[in-house]
Amino acid sequence: MSIDKTSTPPEDTVVENTEAAAKAVTAVDPRLLVREQGFAGYITEFKRKMKAGDLGSIPVVLGLVIIWIIFQSLNSNFLTAGNLSDISVAMVGTGLIAVGIVFVLLLGEIDLSVGSVSGVAGAAFAVLNITHGMNEVLAFVLAILTGTVAGALHGFVFAKIGVPAFAVTLAGLLFWNGFMLQILGDSGTINLNSDGLVAKLTTYYFSDVAASYGLALAVTVLYFVSSFFGNKRREVAGVPSRPLSETILRTALLAILAFAVAVIYNQYKGLPLAVVIFIGMLLVTDFVLRRTAYGRKIFALGGSVEASRRAGINVAMVRISVFAISGTFAALGGLFIASKIASANQGAGGGDLLMNAIAAAVIGGTSLFGGRGRTWNALLGVLVIVSIQYGLALEGIASPVQYMITGGVLLATVVIDAVTRKTQKTAGRA
């Protein structure tokens, strides 16, 4: 008796096999089930992350809380509205530079020129506006473009010629520092107009209480709308999404934090313009990295350059553009730093600025090995660093000790990052 090999299996068998296949696909990555399981699923996910050493920003947040508790116990003035407001304004210049560093680190590269580029931007604005009388807005734009051009030049040498980014940007650090000294001239210092555009970047406050509360409300509503419709799109696509109850809880927690910050600002001078600009930049850059094809290309290059090239990504152009972004944010941060000291001088871009900018990105959670990080990491990292600086300053502790403590925090963060990466490799997730 012959067997018909072309005959189809019984319908019951097909159904069973289909269901089994569906279950098998679901079981491939249990993380996909977390959002459908609600809070119980997140508890399971948290345990899994504990074992894998992947805790995201949780250690940074806990560390920041511990730092604040320690300094408040040493000096009751640390958590006053005035000191917290000053910390938030002081961190913006370095924080903006750190945002550009995040982009570069996502590629698995480094940019050592950002300190010098920031100094050039401040000097360029001062020379154009104060020395030559150029319109403030035009001088401001040209100063930022100096950073863009410098970064693009570094990226071109790295991406097209093949010189390692470390060597290119180290040369840039020296060249742009010399260029800044050259354009500042013999005096070495140019004071800015105290009522001018750049000066107001760090001195202007929205004194109306409605400004702080309005920003807090806007951020909360924006988060809820984004999360709500994002979950709807996932449901339509058949992808597990967060339950509405969790979205509401997350929004409520964000609202509490946002309005608490608003209350603090309103107890002092009001909402700082610098903080508004910084938050706006973080929102824009986070959207670019997480919601655009360009952002996905950056993460892809950080994961594997060869795989990205085979996928059709223009590796050279992405690299050049990322270094241009780094230079642009370095220039913008440099203008905020010039605003803070109300001048452009020979010391701009030097000292511990480069170290703090890179440390802020890494401490905040961006991996030195590429492919993992968010621009919000810059906010967390720079908040840790500036909090340490202000806390030690209140205690009258000298700068050498500040350097040692900041260096220790950075080393601990890098060690955690390396251990996490090794753990993830062991778990087959790297």
Indicate the Cα dihedral angle 306, 309, 315, 318, nearest 10°. Answer: -110
What pLDDT was estimated at residue 425?
Answer: 60
What pLDDT was estimated at residue 27?
Answer: 43
Contact 55, 49 (CB under 8 A): yes
Task: Bin 342: left if φ > 0, else alpha if -120 < ψ < 50, else beta.
Answer: left
What pLDDT was estimated at residue 25?
Answer: 43
Contact 400, 77 (CB under 8 A): no
Q: Which residues of the chain carry a pLDDT beneath 50?
A: 1-3, 5-7, 13-16, 18, 20-32
Tokens in use for 31? Answer: 């993380």
What is the C-alpha to C-alpha distance for residues 106 and 413, in angstroms, rounded to an integer?
16
What pLDDT was estimated at residue 11?
Answer: 52
- The pTM assigned to this predicted structure is 0.85
Contact 424, 430 (CB under 8 A): yes
